Amino acid sequence: MHKFFVNKNQIQNNKVHIIGSDINHIVNVLRLKIDEEIQICSVEDKKNYIAKIIQYNKENVICKIVEELNISTEPKVKIDIFQGLPKADKMELIIQKTTEIGVRSIIPVSMERSIVKLTKKDEEKKIERWQKISEVAAKQSKRDIIPEIERCINIKEVQNRINNYTKFIVAYEEENSKTLKQVLKELKEEENIEIGVLIGPEGGIDEKEIQILKDKADIVTLGSRILRTETAPIVVVSNTIYELEN
């Protein structure tokens, strides 16, 4: 069953009014008909519904709520990825796959070894595209949220946000003692876990950046094999949810 996100004010009197680009997707791409059912999720309160299409036109698709679902697809652990800016196609892959797995938000980070440098104009266009990729992946994987793609920040701003998390993990290829598994083991008995994860760009994390972060963050190795920048966040998010979900 196909899933769509709406704002709370689009749900009134047991009816859902779907607007925007989702109209074309429902009518012309999926070719859904009157009386077919879809899943609706309210962005604000994360409530899920089964709704039946009862009418559509150029302005909206109107659905009648059939049932409220008592389900949640969100992981208990909240994970934010601070991703060193990679090339565009890699960033798109990271957003798509980590959204499917269960990340809460993705924050691009301009780092010493980032090949990509965004101008303000480029950043606005990129974030708009990246947010759309997040939305499509959230629908496909039946998430209850659309992970937010935040504005690009620098390493000093990353440092200022570390205290917001239960743990802040930095995956560093030069680390050879502390492992991700060891850090996650420390969190087994914790409640309301929020984790920040920093992943370097293609060239890795510079030693100067490690020095800025090391007093507050857990610097970890992901193993003896060097992972690509687009592989590392998928590995970290998958392992973290596996270890802490239950």
Question: Domain boundaries in the chain?
Answer: 3-69, 78-244
DSSP 8-state secondary structure symbol assigned to residue 226:
P
Provide the pLDDT for residue 7: 93
Contact 44, 91 (CB under 8 A): no
Provide the pLDDT for residue 245: 85
CA atoms within 13 A on the CB side of 134: 22
Question: Could you tell me the fold of the domain covering 3-69?
Answer: Ribosomal Protein L25; Chain P (2.40.240)
Name the pTM for this structure: 0.90
Q: Is the dihedral of CA 124, 93, 232, 172 positive or negative?
A: negative
Q: Which residues contact 31 (CB under 8 A, 6 or more apart)?
A: none
Q: Which residues contact 205 (CB under 8 A, 6 or more apart)?
A: 84, 111, 112, 113, 170, 172, 173, 198
Is the pLDDT at 246 greater than 80, yes or no?
Answer: no
Residues of the chain above pLDDT 70, percent: 100
Provide the pLDDT for residue 158: 97
Provide the pLDDT for residue 72: 87
Q: Cα(229)–Cα(90) distance, rounded to whole angstroms?
A: 8
Model confidence over 49-97: pLDDT tens digits? 999 999 998 889 999 999 999 988 899 999 999 999 998 799 999 999 9
Average pLDDT, the chain: 94
Question: In angstroms, what is the C-alpha Rg of the chain?
Answer: 20
With vertex at residue 229, the alpha carbon angle to CA 227 and CA 230, rounded to the nearest 5 degrees, is: 100
Alpha helices, DSSP H only, in the chain?
21-24, 88-101, 120-140, 155-161, 180-185, 207-213, 232-244
Is the pLDDT at 124 greater than 80, yes or no?
Answer: yes
Binned at pLDDT 50, 70 and 90, residue 42 comes out as very high
Residues of the chain above pLDDT 90, percent: 85
Q: Is the dihedral of CA 124, 155, 230, 165 positive or negative?
A: negative
Is the pLDDT at 37 greater than 90, yes or no?
Answer: yes
Where is average pLDDT lowest: 47-56, 118-127, 137-146? Answer: 118-127
With vertex at residue 239, the alpha carbon angle to CA 111 and CA 98, rounded to the nearest 5 degrees, is: 55
Model confidence over 149-206: pLDDT tens digits? 999 999 999 999 999 999 999 999 999 999 999 999 999 888 899 999 999 999 999 9
Is the pLDDT at 103 greater than 70, yes or no?
Answer: yes
Question: Could you tell me the fold of the domain covering 78-244?
Answer: Alpha/beta knot (3.40.1280)
Is the pLDDT at 225 greater than 70, yes or no?
Answer: yes
* Residue 162: both structure tokens together: 């570390």
Contact 18, 68 (CB under 8 A): no
Is the pLDDT at 139 greater than 70, yes or no?
Answer: yes
Binned at pLDDT 50, 70 and 90, residue 231 comes out as very high
